[in-house]
Amino acid sequence: MSDLRDDLRTEAEALDAADELAAKRKEFVLDETVYLDGNSLGALPANVPGRLAEVMTHEWGKLRIRSWDESGWWTAPERIGDRIAPLVGAAPGQIVVGDSTSVNVFKALVAAVRIARDAEGTGGPGGTGSSDNPSGGRDEIVVDATTFPTDGYIAESAARLTGCRLVPVAPGDVPGVLGDRTAAVLLNHADYRTGRLHDLPGLTAAIHAAGALAVWDLCHTAGALPVGLDEHGVDLAVGCTYKYLNGGPGAPAYIYVRESLQSRFDSPLPGWNSHAEPFGMRPEFEAADGALRGRVGTPDILSMLALEASLDAWEGVSVDTVRAKSLALTDFFLRCVEAYVPAGRVESLTPAAHAERGSQVALRCDDAGDVMRRLVEQGVVGDFRAPDVLRFGFTPLYVSFGDAERAARVLARTLA
Amino acid sequence: MSDLRDDLRTEAEALDAADELAAKRKEFVLDETVYLDGNSLGALPANVPGRLAEVMTHEWGKLRIRSWDESGWWTAPERIGDRIAPLVGAAPGQIVVGDSTSVNVFKALVAAVRIARDAEGTGGPGGTGSSDNPSGGRDEIVVDATTFPTDGYIAESAARLTGCRLVPVAPGDVPGVLGDRTAAVLLNHADYRTGRLHDLPGLTAAIHAAGALAVWDLCHTAGALPVGLDEHGVDLAVGCTYKYLNGGPGAPAYIYVRESLQSRFDSPLPGWNSHAEPFGMRPEFEAADGALRGRVGTPDILSMLALEASLDAWEGVSVDTVRAKSLALTDFFLRCVEAYVPAGRVESLTPAAHAERGSQVALRCDDAGDVMRRLVEQGVVGDFRAPDVLRFGFTPLYVSFGDAERAARVLARTLA
């Protein structure tokens, strides 16, 4: 065992020495902790405090109201959206940042149902004042039954308000329930519990073949692996920015609206920021052109500009490189766990096949809550998902192979 | 004229010397500018940068994910809500902070329609899956036609999604359109353009007499005058925190749900933060007790904790004192304008009667856009609302009588 440990430690050192992202680690505030919870809250990028101090003291403190124009506050949602775009395979002009993921799921789903109905001619003109509850036509929203729960709760509300029926199924069963009643399908790109990656290209194609719209939640994949929104023809997508994008606690989420759908994107939250002429203060709503339709109210500037600064870490980074390191990290961690942990003590819920794996490893054991508590006490931070899952997230920008080996070692000692 | 100026300057000095809020000015970052745009973006409270630096470097940077518990991040929405509560006349446990005003208007209106219908027995059980478009019953949402436009746009969307008809009327005409078809009424406490204060107690009573729910938008009054939500039996209220509450650009808004309605508050945005057991990750939605039902997604911590720090400025401050100073300031400014500006050059749109006045003065003149641009160049910052309104907001915590006199003087010179 001690020989094996020496071998794996040596291997970790060699992998870290060869890691082309290794230098990125210095751009984050890290300490002796092995931080494997970046899939819940990304670590602090070192440049954020300085940038936000400038926003507070200069932009808010001195320029005050003038900063809406002079400091570019007003256009931050679309400007930051365009910086996230290449990380999820989107051309510019299709993403705006703002609101929470839950609120964006709501916008996306209601808008998707309206577009699907307009295409069928069953939804009326789709303009202001038309009913959202036509009889017949596309009246089903299919939702990933294994998804992070908020998506299901919001989907239920969207269904209720648009007169649809909610159809919860496991992602693999989606093709079997699609039909001419399906308006929209909401799927999570990766299962938050197991880390399983779902087949975005294949499922999107199946949804389109049924004449429905595909809405993807990218919370657990954006910043960890290539998504390819444009390439795979995804209709709408949402995601948070506080996991692999390191935007800060509760940082604003984003919504992607495919360019060809923007003119039909009919938001259920048409706030003044999505108006064609926001400062015209006109009583009638007229939607802005483009992705701006996804905006709602006044953008949350402090959180938003912290997010913008955090995205500097992506300069010069290829998502393919990130993906390669992510898979190498999770492979290596699983090997270390297998080598160190007594057989049968934990069960990996994370798929062995690369094509089915996100950037986290989920291990099941009956005493997971207690085990995670003790891991955290020993400086290895993952998280616990009830009732029995240990989650370890691997953020390729700052997690090292040495971290992975140490985490497995401490885990083995804790489980012993 | 010069004698008059001397008199008014002397009076300003005396008023400032007697101002019991004068010491509060030191708690804000101000300079030689006369800042009369706190009704759009409040000035920076001096303690905010230090507090947010601590949040970033210690809470996010060191504790990371542990801060959700250990730094009180998770409970920030209700904790900060309870700090806003006394400023708007609410007992604790009825306000949560989060999302934008527009999003909160949406929650409040859809929930109000559902409650009104449940009370009538026309809306079904109101539980998950019931239709929001019953025939007959209460099917009208009355909205202030002079309100800040976003409220109208969102009300239109809430009406469309609940099968209601939107009835836009001037606030004074509300009583005349109320009836047994009225489900909810959305009113702005003060007109954003003219500064006119609407009769919250009287209109709320009239709305209740018709069996409908009263939803008030407090953006332009919270922090400037007593609102008395509990006292006047308001059902639901929303407001922003970046005007008289000085919470920062785009700081999170809030929603008030009267205690007696909380068990019937059925949110159209039931995100995981409003679940009875958020970390249970249960597929079925079960609403939390109390005001927590107004929460949606993960709270935007950086902006939220900046807001929390900004509220320190209210320690030891009575809203009645603030109101008295606000009226004295706007009275004094109007007197200075009358004394300095040639008769007929501007027209005050702000009511002379105290009971009808908020905390801003609106002056109409044909060249208002150009005039405001030149005022800003001379260090007097108000704002322009198309097509012809100069707005001057008076934040009693940091605006002095000397500021008011100087602003009128520079205005007169600019208009000459």
Q: How many CB atoms lie within 10 A of CB B282?
A: 16
Interface of B with A in 89-108 (CB under 8 A): 99-103, 106
Q: Report the gap between the CA of A219 and the closest CA in chain B (Å).
A: 12
Instruction: Single out the catalytic residue among B106, B242, B332, B394.
Output: B242
CB A209 within 8 A of CB A73: no
Q: Do A270 and B153 touch (CB under 8 A)?
A: yes
- Which residue of chain A comes nearest to B61, CA vs CA? A44
B221 is in an annotated binding site: no
- Which residue of chain B comes nearest to A162, CA vs CA? B161
B217 is in an annotated binding site: yes
pLDDT score, position A413: 96
Average pLDDT, chain A: 94
Residues A249 and A348 in one domain: no
Q: How much helix, strand and coil, in percent to the nearest 5, is found in chain B?
A: 45, 15, 40
Domain-embedded: residue B193: yes
Beta strands in B85-204 (DSSP E): 95-97, 140-144, 165-169, 182-188
Residues A246 and A332 in one domain: no
CA separation, residue B224 to residues A61, B311, B321, B400 (Å) = 21, 13, 10, 15
Residues A26 and A65 in one domain: no
Residues A244 and A376 in one domain: no
- The last residue of one of the domains, among A314, A332, A365, is A314
H helix or E strand, kind and range, residue A142: strand A140-144
Residues B108 and B181 in one domain: yes
Domain-embedded: residue B53: no
Domain-embedded: residue A44: no
ipTM at complex level: 0.95
Show residues of chain A in contact with B43, CB under 8 Å. Answer: 61, 64
d(CA B227, CA B83): 15
**Which residues have a Cβ under 8 Å from the Cβ of B300 and sit 6 or more positions away?**
A100, A250, A251, A252, A300, A303, B98, B252
Domain-embedded: residue A52: no
Number of A/B CB contacts below 8 angstroms equals 281
| CATH number, domain containing residue A15 | 3.90.1150.10
Instruction: With both helix axes pointing from N to C terminus, report the angle between B2-18 and B401-415 in degrees, rounded to the nearest 10.
Output: 150
DSSP state of A400: -
CA separation, residue B40 to residues A252, B63, B186, B381 (Å) = 22, 35, 21, 11
Domain-embedded: residue B62: yes
Residues A110 and A193 in one domain: yes
d(CA A353, CA A338): 16
- The last residue of one of the domains, among A247, A279, A314, is A314
Residues A192 and A301 in one domain: yes
**pLDDT < 50: residue spans in chain B:** 122-131
Show residues of chain A in contact with B62, CB under 8 Å. Answer: 29, 31
pLDDT score, position A386: 87
CA separation, residue B393 to residues A93, B45, B198, B307, B353 (Å) = 36, 17, 17, 20, 17
**Phi-psi region for residue A197, left (φ > 0), alpha (ψ -120 to 50) or beta?**
beta
**Phi-psi region for residue B277, left (φ > 0), alpha (ψ -120 to 50) or beta?**
beta
Show residues of chain A in contact with B159, CB under 8 Å. Answer: 129
Residues B215 and B67 in one domain: yes
Q: Do A302 and B249 touch (CB under 8 A)?
A: yes
Characterize the bridge pairing of strands A380-381 and A34-35.
parallel
pLDDT score, position B280: 85
Residues B180 and B234 in one domain: yes
Q: How many CB atoms lie within 10 A of CB B2?
A: 6
Q: Report the gap between the CA of A148 and the closest CA in chain B (Å).
A: 7
pLDDT score, position A121: 66
Q: Is A310 on the interface with B (CB under 8 A)?
A: no
| Count of residues in chain A | 416
Q: Is the pLDDT of residue A400 over 90?
A: yes
B151 is in an annotated binding site: yes
Query: Which residues, in sequence order, are bridge partners of residue B110?
Result: none
Between A298 and B150, the higher pLDDT residue: A298
pLDDT score, position A6: 87
Lowest mean pLDDT among A159-168, A279-288, B71-80, B150-159: A279-288
- The last residue of one of the domains, among B314, B347, B365, is B314
| CATH number, domain containing residue A185 | 3.40.640.10
pLDDT score, position A126: 37
**Which residues have a Cβ under 8 Å from the Cβ of B233 and sit 6 or more positions away?**
B204, B205, B208, B214, B258
Domain-embedded: residue A24: yes
pLDDT digits (tens, 9 = 90+) for A110-138: 999 999 999 876 443 333 334 455 556 99
pLDDT digits (tens, 9 = 90+) for A249-273: 999 999 999 999 999 999 999 999 9
Domain-embedded: residue B41: no
Q: Is B153 on the interface with A (CB under 8 A)?
A: yes
**Which residues have a Cβ under 8 Å from the Cβ of A247 and sit 6 or more positions away?**
A42, A241, A303, A306, A307, A310, A311
Number of domains chain A contains: 2
Q: Do B149 and A106 touch (CB under 8 A)?
A: no
Q: Do A53 and B53 touch (CB under 8 A)?
A: yes
Q: Is A393 on the interface with B (CB under 8 A)?
A: no
Alpha-carbon A409 to chain mean position: 30
H helix or E strand, kind and range, residue A149: helix A149-162
Mean pLDDT throughout A315-342? 97
B102 is in an annotated binding site: yes
Show residues of chain B in contact with A306, CB under 8 Å. Answer: 56, 302
Q: Is B150 on the interface with A (CB under 8 A)?
A: yes
Between A126 and A39, the higher pLDDT residue: A39
pLDDT score, position A127: 38
d(CA A237, CA B354): 50
Alpha-carbon B185 to chain mean position: 17
Residues B178 and B110 in one domain: yes
Domain-embedded: residue A50: no
pLDDT score, position A129: 38
Residues B306 and B327 in one domain: no
Q: Do A150 and B303 touch (CB under 8 A)?
A: no
CA dihedral over A341, A342, A348, A352, signed as positive or negative? positive
Residues B165 and B249 in one domain: yes
Alpha-carbon B355 to chain mean position: 18
Q: Is A191 on the interface with B (CB under 8 A)?
A: no
Instruction: Tell me what percent of the residues of chain A surpass a pLDDT of 70.
Output: 96
Name the residue range of residue A117's domain.
Answer: 58-314
